[in-house]
Amino acid sequence: MNKSRASRQLPALMSFVVGLILTIMPLPEAAEAFRPNWLAMLVIFWTMQLPHTWSVGTAWIVGIVLDVSQGTLLGQHALALCCVAFIIVRFHLLMRVFPIPQLTAAVFPILVMYQFLLFWVNGVAGVDASLIVYWGPVISSTILWPVVMIFLSSLRYRTPSG
C-alpha cells in the first residue's frame, strides 16, 4: 500500500477505532438504552463517501469485531451492517448530494432497518429485550447524525488527497 493511500485511509480507520471505543465504553444505566449506534453511523458515512474503499466487506469485518467485543451472536451485527452498507453503496451517489436535513431523514429508516435486523436475529435466538433497547439507539443516532456528518466531513477533507 503506498503512502498516500494509507494516509487517506487513516481517518476512517481511526474513526472506526474511536467508534468501537464509544460503543464498548460503559454508560450509566439510564443512558445505556440511548447509546448511539456509532459503528452503524460510521459505516454509513464512510460507505457513502468512499464506496470503493469502504463497503460491504468492511461492514462485515466491523460487525464481527462488534459481535466479539459485545459477546452477542456471532454475525448478528455483521449481517445488519452489511445490509446497511449494501443500501448505502446502492444509493451513495444520490445520498451524497442531499442537504443535511434530507440526509438525516434518509439515514433514519436505514438505522431502523439496522435495529430491526438485530431485533429479528435476537427474536429467532430467543433473546428478550425491551423496546427502548431497540428504539433508543435509533433516536439518539438520528439526533447525532448531523454532528457526526459535519465532523467526519471536515476530517475527511483535511487529509491529503495524494
Question: pTM of the entire structure?
Answer: 0.92
Query: Residue 62 burial by CB count (10 A; 0-12/13-18/19+): exposed, middle or buried?
Result: buried
**Summary mean pLDDT of the chain:** 92
How confident is the model over 130-143, as a mean pLDDT? Answer: 93
Neighbours of 154 (CB within 10 A): 9
Nearest to 33 by CA among 141, 146, 117, 148: 141
Percent of the chain with pLDDT over 70: 93
pLDDT tens sequence across 101-126: 999 999 999 999 999 999 999 999 99
Neighbours of 109 (CB within 10 A): 13
Residue 10 CB partners (closer than 8 Å, separation 6+):
159
Residue with C-alpha cell 439507539? 137
